[in-house]
Structure 1
Amino acid sequence: MAAAAHTPAQPRPGRVPRRRTVRALRYTALLIVLLIMIGPFLWQLSTSLKGTTEDIYTSPPRLLPEHPTFANYQGVADIIPVWDFVLNSAKVAVSNVLTNVAGAAMAGYALSRLRFRGRAAAAAVFVLALLVPMEATMLAQFATMRALELNNTLVAVVLPGCIGAMNVLLMRNAFDNLPYEIEEAAVIDGANVWQRFTRIALPAVKGTLAVVAIFAFMGAWDDFLWPLIVLSDSDHFTLTVGLNFLHGTFSNNQRVVAAGTVIAVAPLIVMFACLQRFFFKGVGEGAVKG
Protein backbone atom coordinates (compact mmCIF):
# COMPACT_ATOMS: atom_id res chain seq x y z
CA MET A 1 0.00 0.00 0.00
CA ALA A 2 2.82 2.40 0.90
CA ALA A 3 4.65 1.58 -2.30
CA ALA A 4 1.52 2.16 -4.32
CA ALA A 5 1.02 5.55 -2.67
CA HIS A 6 4.36 6.82 -3.99
CA THR A 7 3.76 5.67 -7.57
CA PRO A 8 3.89 8.73 -9.86
CA ALA A 9 0.64 9.64 -11.51
CA GLN A 10 0.37 8.62 -15.12
CA PRO A 11 -0.59 11.32 -17.65
CA ARG A 12 -4.12 11.13 -18.88
CA PRO A 13 -4.68 9.63 -22.34
CA GLY A 14 -4.63 12.34 -24.95
CA ARG A 15 -2.80 14.90 -22.80
CA VAL A 16 0.67 14.11 -24.20
CA PRO A 17 -0.39 14.46 -27.86
CA ARG A 18 -2.13 17.71 -26.97
CA ARG A 19 1.06 19.08 -25.38
CA ARG A 20 3.05 18.08 -28.43
CA THR A 21 0.55 19.81 -30.68
CA VAL A 22 0.72 23.02 -28.62
CA ARG A 23 4.53 22.89 -28.64
CA ALA A 24 4.58 22.35 -32.40
CA LEU A 25 2.28 25.34 -32.91
CA ARG A 26 4.52 27.50 -30.72
CA TYR A 27 7.64 26.57 -32.63
CA THR A 28 5.85 27.12 -35.92
CA ALA A 29 4.76 30.58 -34.83
CA LEU A 30 8.29 31.40 -33.65
CA LEU A 31 9.71 30.21 -36.98
CA ILE A 32 7.28 32.41 -38.91
CA VAL A 33 8.20 35.45 -36.79
CA LEU A 34 11.90 34.67 -37.28
CA LEU A 35 11.50 34.53 -41.05
CA ILE A 36 9.57 37.80 -41.08
CA MET A 37 12.26 39.53 -39.03
CA ILE A 38 15.44 38.23 -40.69
CA GLY A 39 13.98 37.65 -44.15
CA PRO A 40 14.63 41.19 -45.47
CA PHE A 41 18.20 41.16 -44.17
CA LEU A 42 18.91 37.78 -45.76
CA TRP A 43 17.51 39.06 -49.04
CA GLN A 44 19.69 42.18 -48.88
CA LEU A 45 22.73 40.03 -48.10
CA SER A 46 21.93 37.74 -51.01
CA THR A 47 21.44 40.68 -53.37
CA SER A 48 24.73 42.25 -52.31
CA LEU A 49 26.59 39.07 -53.28
CA LYS A 50 25.02 38.70 -56.73
CA GLY A 51 26.95 39.76 -59.82
CA THR A 52 25.72 41.92 -62.67
CA THR A 53 25.04 38.87 -64.85
CA GLU A 54 22.60 37.40 -62.34
CA ASP A 55 18.99 38.53 -62.37
CA ILE A 56 17.80 39.66 -58.92
CA TYR A 57 14.15 39.84 -60.03
CA THR A 58 13.68 36.17 -60.96
CA SER A 59 10.40 34.45 -60.14
CA PRO A 60 10.46 32.52 -57.92
CA PRO A 61 13.26 34.46 -56.21
CA ARG A 62 16.55 32.72 -55.48
CA LEU A 63 18.12 33.41 -52.11
CA LEU A 64 21.49 31.79 -52.81
CA PRO A 65 23.59 33.60 -55.46
CA GLU A 66 24.92 31.41 -58.26
CA HIS A 67 28.32 33.13 -58.38
CA PRO A 68 28.93 35.06 -55.13
CA THR A 69 31.08 38.17 -55.49
CA PHE A 70 32.24 41.03 -53.26
CA ALA A 71 32.47 43.47 -56.16
CA ASN A 72 29.36 45.33 -54.98
CA TYR A 73 31.07 46.21 -51.69
CA GLN A 74 33.99 47.62 -53.62
CA GLY A 75 31.46 49.52 -55.72
CA VAL A 76 30.11 51.21 -52.59
CA ALA A 77 33.63 52.36 -51.71
CA ASP A 78 34.13 53.63 -55.28
CA ILE A 79 30.93 55.69 -55.22
CA ILE A 80 31.11 57.22 -51.73
CA PRO A 81 33.84 57.50 -49.05
CA VAL A 82 32.06 54.81 -47.07
CA TRP A 83 34.88 54.18 -44.60
CA ASP A 84 35.03 57.87 -43.67
CA PHE A 85 31.28 57.73 -43.03
CA VAL A 86 31.74 54.57 -40.95
CA LEU A 87 34.40 56.33 -38.87
CA ASN A 88 32.09 59.29 -38.26
CA SER A 89 29.26 56.99 -37.24
CA ALA A 90 31.60 55.07 -34.95
CA LYS A 91 32.68 58.28 -33.23
CA VAL A 92 29.06 59.30 -32.68
CA ALA A 93 27.96 55.84 -31.54
CA VAL A 94 30.85 55.29 -29.12
CA SER A 95 30.39 58.76 -27.64
CA ASN A 96 26.67 58.09 -27.27
CA VAL A 97 27.35 54.79 -25.52
CA LEU A 98 29.83 56.31 -23.07
CA THR A 99 27.64 59.28 -22.18
CA ASN A 100 24.52 57.15 -21.80
CA VAL A 101 26.18 54.45 -19.71
CA ALA A 102 27.79 56.98 -17.38
CA GLY A 103 24.99 59.56 -17.27
CA ALA A 104 22.07 57.13 -17.11
CA ALA A 105 23.79 55.08 -14.40
CA MET A 106 24.42 58.10 -12.20
CA ALA A 107 20.95 59.56 -12.78
CA GLY A 108 19.28 56.21 -12.19
CA TYR A 109 21.22 55.66 -8.98
CA ALA A 110 20.29 59.13 -7.73
CA LEU A 111 16.59 58.55 -8.43
CA SER A 112 16.70 55.14 -6.78
CA ARG A 113 18.93 55.56 -3.74
CA LEU A 114 19.41 59.21 -2.86
CA ARG A 115 16.81 61.11 -0.85
CA PHE A 116 16.36 64.70 -2.02
CA ARG A 117 13.53 67.17 -2.48
CA GLY A 118 11.86 66.84 -5.86
CA ARG A 119 12.98 63.27 -6.55
CA ALA A 120 9.48 62.15 -7.54
CA ALA A 121 9.08 65.17 -9.81
CA ALA A 122 12.43 64.43 -11.48
CA ALA A 123 11.36 60.83 -12.14
CA ALA A 124 8.08 62.10 -13.60
CA VAL A 125 10.00 64.41 -15.94
CA PHE A 126 11.90 61.44 -17.39
CA VAL A 127 8.63 59.56 -17.89
CA LEU A 128 7.04 62.58 -19.61
CA ALA A 129 10.10 62.92 -21.84
CA LEU A 130 9.23 59.55 -23.37
CA LEU A 131 5.86 60.94 -24.48
CA VAL A 132 7.36 63.82 -26.47
CA PRO A 133 8.17 62.81 -30.08
CA MET A 134 11.66 63.62 -31.25
CA GLU A 135 10.32 65.56 -34.25
CA ALA A 136 8.58 68.02 -31.91
CA THR A 137 11.89 69.18 -30.41
CA MET A 138 14.14 69.16 -33.46
CA LEU A 139 13.66 72.82 -34.33
CA ALA A 140 14.53 73.85 -30.78
CA GLN A 141 17.53 71.53 -30.78
CA PHE A 142 18.77 72.92 -34.08
CA ALA A 143 18.36 76.51 -32.85
CA THR A 144 20.28 75.60 -29.70
CA MET A 145 23.14 74.02 -31.67
CA ARG A 146 23.33 77.04 -33.94
CA ALA A 147 23.39 79.40 -30.95
CA LEU A 148 26.25 77.34 -29.49
CA GLU A 149 27.99 77.38 -32.90
CA LEU A 150 28.05 73.59 -32.93
CA ASN A 151 25.99 72.98 -36.05
CA ASN A 152 27.74 70.97 -38.76
CA THR A 153 29.82 69.14 -36.14
CA LEU A 154 29.67 65.62 -34.75
CA VAL A 155 29.28 67.09 -31.26
CA ALA A 156 25.89 68.45 -32.31
CA VAL A 157 24.89 64.96 -33.44
CA VAL A 158 25.84 63.45 -30.06
CA LEU A 159 24.45 66.02 -27.60
CA PRO A 160 20.64 65.54 -28.03
CA GLY A 161 20.90 61.81 -27.33
CA CYS A 162 23.79 61.76 -24.87
CA ILE A 163 21.46 60.67 -22.02
CA GLY A 164 18.22 58.92 -22.94
CA ALA A 165 15.18 59.07 -20.67
CA MET A 166 14.42 55.39 -21.20
CA ASN A 167 17.97 54.46 -20.23
CA VAL A 168 17.68 56.44 -16.99
CA LEU A 169 14.44 54.64 -16.10
CA LEU A 170 16.01 51.27 -16.88
CA MET A 171 18.92 52.00 -14.58
CA ARG A 172 16.62 53.29 -11.83
CA ASN A 173 14.58 50.10 -11.87
CA ALA A 174 17.73 47.98 -11.91
CA PHE A 175 19.02 49.76 -8.80
CA ASP A 176 15.58 49.47 -7.18
CA ASN A 177 15.88 45.68 -7.39
CA LEU A 178 19.11 45.67 -5.34
CA PRO A 179 18.66 44.87 -1.62
CA TYR A 180 19.21 47.86 0.63
CA GLU A 181 21.00 45.65 3.14
CA ILE A 182 24.06 45.45 0.91
CA GLU A 183 24.58 49.20 0.95
CA GLU A 184 23.69 49.48 4.61
CA ALA A 185 26.62 47.20 5.41
CA ALA A 186 28.86 49.45 3.29
CA VAL A 187 27.61 52.54 5.16
CA ILE A 188 28.54 50.93 8.46
CA ASP A 189 32.03 50.31 7.04
CA GLY A 190 32.33 54.02 6.23
CA ALA A 191 31.73 53.97 2.46
CA ASN A 192 30.48 57.23 0.95
CA VAL A 193 27.87 57.57 -1.82
CA TRP A 194 30.40 57.44 -4.67
CA GLN A 195 32.08 54.33 -3.26
CA ARG A 196 28.74 52.58 -2.83
CA PHE A 197 27.81 53.51 -6.38
CA THR A 198 31.04 52.39 -8.07
CA ARG A 199 31.99 49.38 -5.93
CA ILE A 200 28.63 47.87 -5.00
CA ALA A 201 25.77 49.09 -7.20
CA LEU A 202 27.42 49.20 -10.63
CA PRO A 203 28.96 45.70 -10.55
CA ALA A 204 25.53 44.31 -9.61
CA VAL A 205 23.76 45.76 -12.71
CA LYS A 206 26.20 44.85 -15.48
CA GLY A 207 23.38 43.33 -17.49
CA THR A 208 21.36 46.53 -17.53
CA LEU A 209 24.47 48.51 -18.45
CA ALA A 210 24.84 46.21 -21.46
CA VAL A 211 21.19 46.87 -22.41
CA VAL A 212 21.77 50.62 -22.18
CA ALA A 213 24.94 50.33 -24.25
CA ILE A 214 23.18 48.36 -26.99
CA PHE A 215 20.21 50.72 -27.11
CA ALA A 216 22.49 53.77 -27.19
CA PHE A 217 24.69 52.32 -29.93
CA MET A 218 21.73 51.29 -32.08
CA GLY A 219 20.00 54.63 -31.66
CA ALA A 220 23.11 56.60 -32.61
CA TRP A 221 24.18 54.31 -35.44
CA ASP A 222 20.75 54.13 -37.08
CA ASP A 223 19.82 57.79 -36.63
CA PHE A 224 19.19 59.49 -39.96
CA LEU A 225 16.93 62.52 -39.57
CA TRP A 226 18.87 64.50 -36.97
CA PRO A 227 22.32 64.11 -38.62
CA LEU A 228 20.70 65.03 -41.94
CA ILE A 229 19.36 68.27 -40.40
CA VAL A 230 22.38 69.38 -38.40
CA LEU A 231 25.17 68.34 -40.80
CA SER A 232 25.85 70.16 -44.07
CA ASP A 233 29.46 69.22 -44.84
CA SER A 234 29.86 65.79 -46.43
CA ASP A 235 33.13 65.30 -44.55
CA HIS A 236 31.07 65.02 -41.35
CA PHE A 237 28.29 62.82 -42.71
CA THR A 238 27.45 59.69 -40.77
CA LEU A 239 26.95 56.38 -42.56
CA THR A 240 23.15 56.55 -42.70
CA VAL A 241 23.27 59.99 -44.31
CA GLY A 242 26.12 59.07 -46.67
CA LEU A 243 24.36 55.94 -47.90
CA ASN A 244 21.52 58.16 -49.10
CA PHE A 245 23.70 58.97 -52.13
CA LEU A 246 23.37 55.34 -53.23
CA HIS A 247 19.59 55.69 -53.42
CA GLY A 248 19.81 58.79 -55.61
CA THR A 249 22.14 58.90 -58.55
CA PHE A 250 22.78 55.16 -58.46
CA SER A 251 19.29 54.00 -57.58
CA ASN A 252 19.19 51.52 -60.50
CA ASN A 253 22.02 49.42 -59.06
CA GLN A 254 20.18 47.63 -56.27
CA ARG A 255 23.16 45.34 -55.69
CA VAL A 256 25.31 48.27 -54.54
CA VAL A 257 22.47 49.63 -52.40
CA ALA A 258 22.13 46.23 -50.75
CA ALA A 259 25.87 46.10 -50.10
CA GLY A 260 25.71 49.49 -48.40
CA THR A 261 22.83 48.28 -46.25
CA VAL A 262 24.79 45.23 -45.12
CA ILE A 263 27.77 47.44 -44.24
CA ALA A 264 25.48 49.57 -42.07
CA VAL A 265 23.86 46.61 -40.29
CA ALA A 266 26.98 44.48 -39.71
CA PRO A 267 28.33 46.47 -36.70
CA LEU A 268 24.98 46.16 -34.92
CA ILE A 269 25.00 42.40 -35.36
CA VAL A 270 28.58 42.13 -34.10
CA MET A 271 27.87 44.27 -31.04
CA PHE A 272 24.75 42.34 -30.11
CA ALA A 273 26.56 39.02 -30.58
CA CYS A 274 29.27 40.17 -28.18
CA LEU A 275 26.86 41.48 -25.52
CA GLN A 276 23.88 39.15 -25.87
CA ARG A 277 24.78 37.23 -22.70
CA PHE A 278 24.62 40.44 -20.67
CA PHE A 279 21.66 41.75 -22.66
CA PHE A 280 19.24 38.97 -21.72
CA LYS A 281 20.40 39.16 -18.12
CA GLY A 282 19.84 42.92 -18.08
CA VAL A 283 16.32 42.71 -19.48
CA GLY A 284 15.26 41.10 -16.21
CA GLU A 285 17.30 43.48 -14.08
CA GLY A 286 15.96 46.70 -15.55
CA ALA A 287 12.46 45.73 -16.53
CA VAL A 288 10.04 48.60 -15.99
CA LYS A 289 7.55 47.56 -13.36
CA GLY A 290 3.89 47.88 -14.12
Structure 2
Amino acid sequence: MSAQIGTREKLIRWPLMLLAVATVLGPLLWQVGTALKSAGESAVGFPGTLLPQHPTLDNFATAFTEIPLVRYVLNSVAISAMGMTTNLVLATLTGYALARIAFRGRSLYTMLLLATAVLPFEVILVSTMLVTRDLGLNDTLLGVVLPQAVSIVAIFVMRQAFLRIPDELAEAAAIDGAGPFQVFWHVMLPSVRGSLAVVAVLGFLDSWDHFIWPLVILSDPSKYPVNVGVQYLSGTFSADQRVISAAAIVVMIPPLLVYFLLQKQVFKGLAEGALKG
Protein backbone atom coordinates (compact mmCIF):
# COMPACT_ATOMS: atom_id res chain seq x y z
CA MET A 1 0.00 0.00 0.00
CA SER A 2 2.77 2.43 0.95
CA ALA A 3 4.60 1.58 -2.30
CA GLN A 4 1.48 2.49 -4.30
CA ILE A 5 1.16 5.79 -2.44
CA GLY A 6 4.85 6.52 -3.09
CA THR A 7 4.40 5.82 -6.80
CA ARG A 8 1.38 8.11 -6.97
CA GLU A 9 3.28 10.87 -5.23
CA LYS A 10 6.11 10.58 -7.74
CA LEU A 11 3.68 10.63 -10.66
CA ILE A 12 2.25 13.89 -9.32
CA ARG A 13 5.46 15.44 -7.99
CA TRP A 14 7.73 15.06 -11.01
CA PRO A 15 5.38 16.56 -13.62
CA LEU A 16 4.73 19.50 -11.30
CA MET A 17 8.47 20.00 -10.75
CA LEU A 18 9.16 19.85 -14.48
CA LEU A 19 6.36 22.34 -15.11
CA ALA A 20 7.80 24.72 -12.50
CA VAL A 21 11.31 24.45 -13.99
CA ALA A 22 9.99 25.03 -17.51
CA THR A 23 8.00 28.04 -16.31
CA VAL A 24 11.08 29.60 -14.69
CA LEU A 25 13.79 28.66 -17.18
CA GLY A 26 11.72 28.72 -20.38
CA PRO A 27 11.63 32.52 -20.83
CA LEU A 28 15.32 32.79 -19.93
CA LEU A 29 16.34 30.17 -22.49
CA TRP A 30 14.17 31.86 -25.10
CA GLN A 31 15.85 35.19 -24.32
CA VAL A 32 19.33 33.70 -24.68
CA GLY A 33 18.38 31.98 -27.93
CA THR A 34 16.96 35.22 -29.34
CA ALA A 35 20.09 37.18 -28.36
CA LEU A 36 22.31 34.69 -30.20
CA LYS A 37 20.30 34.64 -33.44
CA SER A 38 21.83 36.12 -36.57
CA ALA A 39 20.22 38.85 -38.66
CA GLY A 40 18.63 36.40 -41.09
CA GLU A 41 16.77 34.41 -38.42
CA SER A 42 13.30 35.27 -37.19
CA ALA A 43 13.18 36.56 -33.61
CA VAL A 44 9.41 36.82 -33.40
CA GLY A 45 6.40 34.71 -34.31
CA PHE A 46 4.91 31.50 -32.95
CA PRO A 47 6.07 28.86 -32.40
CA GLY A 48 9.45 30.12 -33.58
CA THR A 49 12.75 28.38 -32.84
CA LEU A 50 14.52 28.23 -29.51
CA LEU A 51 18.01 27.38 -30.78
CA PRO A 52 19.70 29.79 -33.20
CA GLN A 53 20.75 28.21 -36.50
CA HIS A 54 23.77 30.50 -36.87
CA PRO A 55 24.79 31.70 -33.37
CA THR A 56 26.47 35.10 -33.23
CA LEU A 57 27.57 37.64 -30.63
CA ASP A 58 26.95 40.60 -32.95
CA ASN A 59 23.79 41.56 -31.06
CA PHE A 60 25.79 42.04 -27.85
CA ALA A 61 28.33 44.18 -29.71
CA THR A 62 25.50 46.29 -31.15
CA ALA A 63 23.94 46.78 -27.71
CA PHE A 64 27.27 48.03 -26.32
CA THR A 65 27.99 50.37 -29.26
CA GLU A 66 24.57 51.92 -29.83
CA ILE A 67 24.04 52.99 -26.20
CA PRO A 68 26.55 53.57 -23.35
CA LEU A 69 25.62 50.24 -21.79
CA VAL A 70 28.78 50.01 -19.68
CA ARG A 71 28.06 53.41 -18.11
CA TYR A 72 24.46 52.43 -17.41
CA VAL A 73 25.57 49.17 -15.77
CA LEU A 74 28.11 51.03 -13.62
CA ASN A 75 25.43 53.53 -12.58
CA SER A 76 23.17 50.65 -11.56
CA VAL A 77 25.99 48.95 -9.68
CA ALA A 78 26.70 52.18 -7.76
CA ILE A 79 22.99 52.73 -6.98
CA SER A 80 22.48 49.10 -5.94
CA ALA A 81 25.62 49.01 -3.80
CA MET A 82 24.52 52.15 -1.95
CA GLY A 83 20.96 50.85 -1.66
CA MET A 84 22.16 47.50 -0.35
CA THR A 85 24.39 49.21 2.25
CA THR A 86 21.73 51.61 3.52
CA ASN A 87 19.12 48.85 3.57
CA LEU A 88 21.43 46.54 5.49
CA VAL A 89 22.49 49.12 8.08
CA LEU A 90 19.10 50.75 8.67
CA ALA A 91 17.12 47.50 8.63
CA THR A 92 19.55 45.89 11.08
CA LEU A 93 19.45 48.80 13.53
CA THR A 94 15.67 49.22 13.30
CA GLY A 95 15.02 45.49 13.54
CA TYR A 96 17.29 45.24 16.58
CA ALA A 97 15.51 48.12 18.29
CA LEU A 98 12.07 46.62 17.64
CA ALA A 99 13.15 43.19 18.86
CA ARG A 100 15.53 43.78 21.75
CA ILE A 101 15.04 47.31 23.12
CA ALA A 102 12.00 48.09 25.25
CA PHE A 103 10.63 51.59 24.69
CA ARG A 104 7.25 53.26 24.98
CA GLY A 105 5.09 52.85 21.89
CA ARG A 106 7.11 49.99 20.41
CA SER A 107 4.01 47.95 19.53
CA LEU A 108 2.31 50.96 17.96
CA TYR A 109 5.41 51.80 15.94
CA THR A 110 5.63 48.20 14.73
CA MET A 111 1.99 48.25 13.62
CA LEU A 112 2.49 51.54 11.79
CA LEU A 113 5.47 50.11 9.93
CA LEU A 114 3.41 47.10 8.93
CA ALA A 115 0.61 49.38 7.73
CA THR A 116 2.98 51.36 5.48
CA ALA A 117 4.17 48.13 3.87
CA VAL A 118 0.90 47.84 1.92
CA LEU A 119 1.28 51.29 0.34
CA PRO A 120 2.81 51.27 -3.16
CA PHE A 121 5.61 53.76 -3.77
CA GLU A 122 3.51 55.51 -6.43
CA VAL A 123 1.20 56.82 -3.65
CA ILE A 124 4.01 58.99 -2.24
CA LEU A 125 5.83 59.59 -5.52
CA VAL A 126 4.90 63.28 -5.87
CA SER A 127 5.62 64.19 -2.24
CA THR A 128 8.92 62.29 -2.36
CA MET A 129 9.90 64.15 -5.52
CA LEU A 130 9.15 67.52 -3.89
CA VAL A 131 11.18 66.68 -0.77
CA THR A 132 14.09 65.39 -2.85
CA ARG A 133 14.05 68.57 -4.93
CA ASP A 134 14.01 70.77 -1.81
CA LEU A 135 17.05 68.88 -0.50
CA GLY A 136 18.91 69.66 -3.73
CA LEU A 137 19.22 65.99 -4.68
CA ASN A 138 17.51 66.20 -8.05
CA ASP A 139 19.46 64.54 -10.85
CA THR A 140 21.88 62.78 -8.47
CA LEU A 141 22.48 59.13 -7.73
CA LEU A 142 22.09 59.90 -4.02
CA GLY A 143 18.63 61.24 -4.79
CA VAL A 144 17.80 57.89 -6.39
CA VAL A 145 18.94 55.93 -3.33
CA LEU A 146 17.75 57.89 -0.28
CA PRO A 147 13.94 57.82 -0.72
CA GLN A 148 14.03 54.01 -0.79
CA ALA A 149 17.04 53.50 1.46
CA VAL A 150 15.36 50.84 3.60
CA SER A 151 12.48 48.45 2.99
CA ILE A 152 9.83 47.36 5.47
CA VAL A 153 10.38 43.73 4.49
CA ALA A 154 14.07 43.96 5.40
CA ILE A 155 13.24 45.53 8.77
CA PHE A 156 10.91 42.69 9.71
CA VAL A 157 13.33 40.03 8.46
CA MET A 158 15.93 41.41 10.87
CA ARG A 159 13.37 41.88 13.67
CA GLN A 160 12.38 38.23 13.46
CA ALA A 161 16.03 37.18 13.32
CA PHE A 162 16.87 39.06 16.52
CA LEU A 163 13.74 37.77 18.25
CA ARG A 164 14.92 34.19 17.67
CA ILE A 165 18.12 34.76 19.71
CA PRO A 166 17.71 33.47 23.30
CA ASP A 167 17.73 36.14 25.96
CA GLU A 168 20.19 34.05 27.97
CA LEU A 169 22.88 34.67 25.35
CA ALA A 170 22.73 38.45 25.76
CA GLU A 171 22.46 38.15 29.55
CA ALA A 172 25.55 35.94 29.71
CA ALA A 173 27.52 38.48 27.66
CA ALA A 174 26.34 41.30 29.93
CA ILE A 175 27.39 39.34 33.04
CA ASP A 176 30.85 38.92 31.49
CA GLY A 177 31.13 42.72 31.31
CA ALA A 178 30.05 43.39 27.72
CA GLY A 179 28.36 46.74 27.11
CA PRO A 180 25.26 47.24 24.93
CA PHE A 181 27.31 47.90 21.79
CA GLN A 182 29.58 44.92 22.44
CA VAL A 183 26.56 42.67 22.92
CA PHE A 184 25.12 43.93 19.65
CA TRP A 185 28.37 43.67 17.67
CA HIS A 186 29.95 40.51 19.08
CA VAL A 187 26.90 38.46 20.07
CA MET A 188 23.84 39.54 18.11
CA LEU A 189 25.26 40.20 14.64
CA PRO A 190 27.21 36.90 14.37
CA SER A 191 24.00 35.07 15.29
CA VAL A 192 22.02 36.54 12.37
CA ARG A 193 24.56 36.32 9.54
CA GLY A 194 22.17 34.31 7.38
CA SER A 195 19.45 36.94 7.70
CA LEU A 196 21.98 39.68 6.96
CA ALA A 197 22.78 37.93 3.67
CA VAL A 198 19.08 37.69 2.83
CA VAL A 199 18.62 41.43 3.48
CA ALA A 200 21.74 42.26 1.46
CA VAL A 201 20.51 40.31 -1.56
CA LEU A 202 16.99 41.74 -1.27
CA GLY A 203 18.39 45.27 -1.00
CA PHE A 204 20.61 44.86 -4.05
CA LEU A 205 17.86 43.33 -6.17
CA ASP A 206 15.32 45.93 -5.11
CA SER A 207 17.65 48.81 -6.00
CA TRP A 208 18.65 47.14 -9.27
CA ASP A 209 15.01 46.78 -10.35
CA HIS A 210 14.05 50.43 -9.80
CA PHE A 211 12.65 52.06 -12.92
CA ILE A 212 9.93 54.63 -12.21
CA TRP A 213 11.78 56.64 -9.54
CA PRO A 214 15.10 57.03 -11.44
CA LEU A 215 13.13 57.98 -14.54
CA VAL A 216 11.35 60.73 -12.56
CA ILE A 217 14.27 62.13 -10.57
CA LEU A 218 17.08 61.94 -13.16
CA SER A 219 17.23 64.31 -16.13
CA ASP A 220 20.81 63.65 -17.27
CA PRO A 221 20.83 60.50 -19.47
CA SER A 222 24.45 59.80 -18.52
CA LYS A 223 23.27 59.08 -14.94
CA TYR A 224 20.51 56.65 -15.89
CA PRO A 225 20.59 53.16 -14.39
CA VAL A 226 20.62 50.31 -16.84
CA ASN A 227 16.89 49.56 -16.63
CA VAL A 228 16.11 53.09 -17.80
CA GLY A 229 18.97 53.35 -20.28
CA VAL A 230 18.12 50.12 -22.08
CA GLN A 231 14.76 51.65 -23.05
CA TYR A 232 16.65 53.62 -25.69
CA LEU A 233 17.11 50.34 -27.52
CA SER A 234 13.35 49.85 -27.67
CA GLY A 235 13.08 53.05 -29.65
CA THR A 236 16.21 52.64 -31.75
CA PHE A 237 15.75 48.94 -32.50
CA SER A 238 12.01 48.53 -32.07
CA ALA A 239 11.94 45.86 -34.82
CA ASP A 240 15.06 44.00 -33.66
CA GLN A 241 14.35 41.93 -30.57
CA ARG A 242 17.79 40.32 -30.82
CA VAL A 243 19.62 43.44 -29.63
CA ILE A 244 17.07 44.11 -26.89
CA SER A 245 17.40 40.49 -25.68
CA ALA A 246 21.19 40.79 -25.66
CA ALA A 247 21.01 43.94 -23.52
CA ALA A 248 18.49 42.26 -21.18
CA ILE A 249 20.90 39.38 -20.60
CA VAL A 250 23.67 41.85 -19.71
CA VAL A 251 21.28 43.49 -17.22
CA MET A 252 20.71 40.14 -15.47
CA ILE A 253 24.39 39.31 -14.90
CA PRO A 254 25.28 41.57 -11.88
CA PRO A 255 22.30 40.54 -9.67
CA LEU A 256 22.93 36.89 -10.51
CA LEU A 257 26.57 37.29 -9.45
CA VAL A 258 25.51 38.87 -6.14
CA TYR A 259 23.07 36.03 -5.53
CA PHE A 260 25.61 33.29 -6.29
CA LEU A 261 28.26 34.93 -4.10
CA LEU A 262 25.87 35.03 -1.13
CA GLN A 263 23.97 31.85 -1.98
CA LYS A 264 25.15 29.80 1.01
CA GLN A 265 24.36 32.51 3.51
CA VAL A 266 20.97 33.19 1.91
CA PHE A 267 19.91 29.55 2.20
CA LYS A 268 21.24 29.50 5.76
CA GLY A 269 19.12 32.53 6.62
CA LEU A 270 16.01 31.04 5.02
CA ALA A 271 16.59 27.75 6.83
CA GLU A 272 16.99 29.56 10.15
CA GLY A 273 13.64 31.26 9.61
CA ALA A 274 11.94 27.98 8.71
CA LEU A 275 13.34 26.07 11.66
CA LYS A 276 13.02 28.69 14.39
CA GLY A 277 10.16 30.87 13.15
Match of 1:267 among 251, 254, 257: 254
Residue 58 of structure 1: CA displacement? 6.3
Asked if residue 116 in structure 1 is aligned to residue 116 in structure 2, the reply is no
**Residue 161 of structure 1, aligned match among 148, 152, 165:** 148
- Counterpart of 2:223? 236
Corresponding residue SS for 1:279: helix
> Stretches of 4+ moved more than 4 A in 1?
none
**1:24 Cα deviation from its structure 2 partner:** 2.9
Q: Spell out, residue by residue over 1:10-36, the C-alpha distance to the aligned partner (whole angstroms, 9 max, x if none).
A: xxxx32022122123112112101211
TM-score by length of 2: 0.95
Deviation at 1:141, TM superposition (A): 0.6
Tell me the distance in 2 between the aligned counterparts of 1:56 and 1:202.
Answer: 50
Please tell me whether residue 21 in structure 1 is matched to residue 8 in structure 2: yes
Contact 2:42–2:48, Cα closer than 8 Å, also in 1: no
Corresponding residue for residue 184 of structure 2: 197
CA distance in 2, matches of 1:31, 1:209: 32
The whole-number CA distance in structure 2 between the counterparts of 1:252 and 1:278 is 42
Letter in structure 2 aligned against 1:142: M
When residues 212 and 253 of structure 1 are mapped into structure 2, their CA distance, relative to the original with a 3 A threshold, is same
- RMSD over aligned CA atoms reads 1.6
Paired residue type of 2:246: A
1:76-155 aligned within 5 A: 76-155=63-142
Amino acid at match of 2:195: T
Code of the residue aligned with 2:12 in structure 1: it is L
Among 208, 233, 242, the residue aligned to 1:246 = 233
Once the two structures are aligned, what percentage of the paired residues are identical? 38
Gaps of 5+ in 1: 1-13
Gaps of 5+ in 2: none
How far 1:270 sits from its partner (Å)? 1.8
Q: 1:126 touches 1:165 (CA, 8 Å); kept in 2? A: yes
1:26, 1:182 → 2: CA distance?
Answer: 42
Does the residue aligned with 2:187 lie in a helix, a strand or coil?
A: helix
- Tell me, yes or no, if structure 1 residue 219 matches structure 2 residue 206: yes
Deviation of 1:55 after TM superposition, in Å, equals: 2.2
What residue identity is the alignment partner of 1:152?
D
- Which residue of the partner structure matches residue 264 of structure 2? 277
Bigger radius of gyration among the two:
1
Deviation of 1:249 (Å): 2.4
Structure 2 residue aligned with 1:7: none
Q: Aligned partners of 2:94 and 2:46: how far apart in 1? A: 55
Q: Cα offset for 1:59? A: 5.3
Letter paired with 1:211: V
CA contact (8 A) 1:126 1:166 kept: no
How far off is 1:90 after superposition? 0.4
SS in 2 for 1:248: helix
